[in-house]
Structure 1
Amino acid sequence: MNKQAPQNSVRLPERMRHLAVDSRGYPVIATINRSPEKVDFGSISERRKLALGTFDWCAVCGMPFADELRWQMVFEEGALPAALSGEAPVHEVCALYAAQVCPFLFSPRSRLSDEGRKGEVRESVVRFVGFESTSAVIPHASELQPGIHTLAFEQRGHADEFSYSSPDELGERFADALAREKPLPVSDAEAVLVRLFNRLDDEGEGDVVTGAALAAGAVFAKDIFKVQGLGAFQGKSYPTAAALLLKGTEEQILKFSHDSQDEAFSAIGPWVLERAGRFPLALQRWRTRGNSMVKNLGPSSPQGPGRSVAKNAPCPCGSKRKARRCHPAGVQATP
């Protein structure tokens, strides 16, 4: 964004009012890198895209889609039963706001800045299509950056669209979208994740919520740690947490969140429990894949004399009696 974009003259949608603003007063959209010192509107974070795809959030306001369409800028012509894009989808009202404020969407002469398209300019007509769902989020090798994996969002169910050459053409549609805007359903657990994700002081890339997304099931996505910026998360802790959140009991999941010192991890257990059976489609795909990768969790082998403790050691049940006298057959231990 730049100072020439008419930010001050465009009404901010209600669902964007929780966003932090940069030094010029522009809302810091959900998909970009940020820190308290610097906001980079030209840098899209793959880590943040993973959280958006996992929780089914808008790439502008960082809020859930609920029953609204997922809007994507597309370059193809004709009906689109499906589309694949390297950008995360947005709400209609957020797309219409961005079209009037973002220089790339605002000006048909805007240049594409990445090395693979250097010298090219934006199409004279911009087309946005509204899809019914994000059916998958797929790690794949980047066509523009050899050796780099990025996330692609697959949209299905072409339901609506709009096109424009100048943002002046969008006034009536934007006014209608503002009038139809309604509060989005956000539970207490999801509100914590949304707040953490949209702050400015999260090391630039939404790391704590990205970690929670991996634990919710994104860790089971094929090639996920090949994605740019996600290699730093590779290790045993996220697969272990994801296995518990996938196949643990309600008691185990709540204990996991209660014992966590991380605020996002404290919220992810309740979120998983409240969303059970109605996860976003991309996350459900990953969790289904995880089901074939994770053994069932259940009570471990009994702890007791002749097993994990000596016969004359204190009983694992906490009675302080000798194990061989208190629970000679052993006691079940929670994994």
Structure 2
Amino acid sequence: MALPRRMKHLAVESRGYPVIATVERSARGVDFGSINERRKLALATFDWCAVCGLPFGDELRWQMVFQEESPLAKAVSGEAPVHEVCALYAAQVCPYLFSPHSRMGDEFRKGAVRDVVVRFVGFESTKAVIAHESELQRGIHTLHFEHHGHADEFSYHSPDEIQERFSDALAREQDLPVTDAESVLIRLFNRLDDGGEGDVVTGAALVAGAAFAKDVFKVQGMKTFVGKHYPAVAGLMLKGSEEEILEFSRGSRDEAFGAVGPWVLERAGDFPLPLQRWRARGGSVVGRSEPRRPAGPGRSVSKNAACPCGSGRKARRCHPAGIPVG
């Protein structure tokens, strides 16, 4: 099976399979049957494909759908979207997408069988990403992607029916433009070891503005990020000057934090739509906090204490005028 060019940067697990962007991974191994909600948040923030983890650019967002209506004005899915060539590749190698007799193996969907006909639809944009309480696990929130603008589609009973389309997609495949800052985030996102306490790029997504998404810290797996000043740093990325943002990034010991500031400045005015919504929501929150912005180094801490933003630098050097209360 030919591997799309845009998937060749992916890490490979012990059996030789490329590790796609959404699956759970750690130093102990890869779980292809588990979708990681923290990683989905990073995909939504930076507008990356759920298979190859690279940006969409001007390409359509492809989603497997279950509705029979055609065309669809919009679709909402608990899975993140993918490029067309990545969807076609997955359809031929993923056990669930490959076989019409495939069954779900997890405890909540045990016995559910794949639809006889698999339908993928290409949408023009992802309008919003929202945290919803899971219907399968009460009290657990998962991310749902809302897509608009039905532009194309394909369907199949078996992967043999889409081999010609896959060959054509491979021939048309183009390199995706990636800046230096984004390439750092993509490299870190592709690590097999997720860092123990959670994906480092998910932390970068939070400070880029995802921290302002409604109920984001209720999402499955996000408890590790609670109480670590992410909203405060997100406020800096939202309201701070270019000099303040770059100073924070240069002073951070976290490589992902060091890259996210330049990424925010590069994309200013052209953020992915879900991130635009989150930052707009954050604008009112940060605005209300501004009158409470304390004077002096790093909020109320001593000038030689560690800055509350989490950068690891002394408060007097990192944020001498203080930062908003998170």
TM-score under structure 1 length normalisation: 0.85
Amino acid at match of 2:99: S
Shift of residue 151 of structure 1? Answer: 0.4
Task: Name 2:28's counterpart in structure 1.
Answer: 37
Q: Could you tell me whether the CA contact under 8 Å between 1:73 and 1:128 is conserved in 2?
A: yes
Q: Could you tell me whether the CA contact under 8 Å between 1:92 and 1:177 is conserved in 2?
A: yes
What is the correspondence of 1:263-302 to structure 2 with a 5 Å cutoff? Answer: 263-295=255-287
What is the correspondence of 1:104-123 to structure 2 with a 5 Å cutoff? Answer: 104-123=96-115
Amino acid at match of 2:95: P
Shift of residue 107 of structure 1? Answer: 0.3
What is the correspondence of 1:201-212 to structure 2 with a 5 Å cutoff? Answer: 201-203=193-195, 207-212=199-204
SS of the residue corresponding to residue 136 of structure 1 reads strand
1:56 aligns with 2:47: yes
Task: Name 1:247's counterpart in structure 2.
Answer: 239
Q: Could you tell me whether the CA contact under 8 Å between 1:34 and 1:204 is conserved in 2?
A: no
Q: Could you tell me whether the CA contact under 8 Å between 1:247 and 1:297 is conserved in 2?
A: no
Task: Name 1:139's counterpart in structure 2.
Answer: 131
Task: Name 1:319's counterpart in structure 2.
Answer: none
Shift in alpha-carbon separation, 1:302–1:210, aligned structure 2, 3 A: closer
SS of the residue corresponding to residue 145 of structure 2 reads strand
SS of the residue corresponding to residue 50 of structure 1 reads helix
Q: Could you tell me whether the CA contact under 8 Å between 1:69 and 1:91 is conserved in 2?
A: yes
Separation in 1, partners of 2:267, 2:86: 25
Separation in 2, partners of 1:46, 1:100: 24
Shift in alpha-carbon separation, 1:186–1:258, aligned structure 2, 3 A: same
Task: Name 1:334's counterpart in structure 2.
Answer: 321
Separation in 1, partners of 2:229, 2:63: 34
Q: How many corresponding residue pairs?
A: 298
Amino acid at match of 1:210: T
Amino acid at match of 1:119: G
SS of the residue corresponding to residue 241 of structure 1 reads helix
Separation in 2, partners of 1:301, 1:198: 39
Task: Name 1:199's counterpart in structure 2.
Answer: 191
Deviations 1:128-176 (CA, angstroms, capped at 9, x unpaired): 0000011111001001111110000111110000000010111110011
Task: Name 2:177's counterpart in structure 1.
Answer: 185
Separation in 2, partners of 1:35, 1:276: 33
SS of the residue corresponding to residue 294 of structure 1 reads helix
1:26 aligns with 2:34: no
Separation in 2, partners of 1:161, 1:205: 39
- Decide which structure has the larger Cα Rg and report it: 1
SS of the residue corresponding to residue 182 of structure 1 reads coil
Q: Could you tell me whether the CA contact under 8 Å between 2:208 and 2:237 is conserved in 1?
A: yes
1:67 aligns with 2:58: yes
Q: Identity percentage over the alignment?
A: 73
Deviations 1:57-89 (CA, angstroms, capped at 9, x unpaired): 000000000000000000001221111000000
Residue 79 of structure 2, aligned match among 87, 95, 114: 87
Deviations 1:88-115 (CA, angstroms, capped at 9, x unpaired): 0000000000001011000010002233
SS of the residue corresponding to residue 176 of structure 2 reads coil
Q: Could you tell me whether the CA contact under 8 Å between 2:198 and 2:224 is conserved in 1?
A: no
1:155 aligns with 2:142: no
Task: Name 1:14's counterpart in structure 2.
Answer: 5
Residue 129 of structure 1, aligned match among 121, 125, 128: 121
Residue 228 of structure 1, aligned match among 220, 232, 245: 220
Separation in 1, partners of 2:57, 2:321: 36
Separation in 2, partners of 1:44, 1:60: 11
Amino acid at match of 1:114: D
Shift of residue 15 of structure 1? Answer: 0.2
Deviation beyond 6 Å, 4+ runs, structure 1? 300-303
Separation in 2, partners of 1:59, 1:218: 17
Amino acid at match of 1:134: T
Separation in 2, partners of 1:225, 1:129: 30
Task: Name 1:216's counterpart in structure 2.
Answer: 208
**Over the residues paired in the alignment, what is the CA RMSD in angstroms?**
1.9
Task: Name 1:329's counterpart in structure 2.
Answer: none
SS of the residue corresponding to residue 88 of structure 2 reads helix
Q: Could you tell me whether the CA contact under 8 Å between 1:131 and 1:156 is conserved in 2?
A: yes
SS of the residue corresponding to residue 185 of structure 1 reads coil
Q: Could you tell me whether the CA contact under 8 Å between 1:55 and 1:213 is conserved in 2?
A: yes
Shift of residue 116 of structure 1? Answer: 3.3
SS of the residue corresponding to residue 95 of structure 1 reads helix
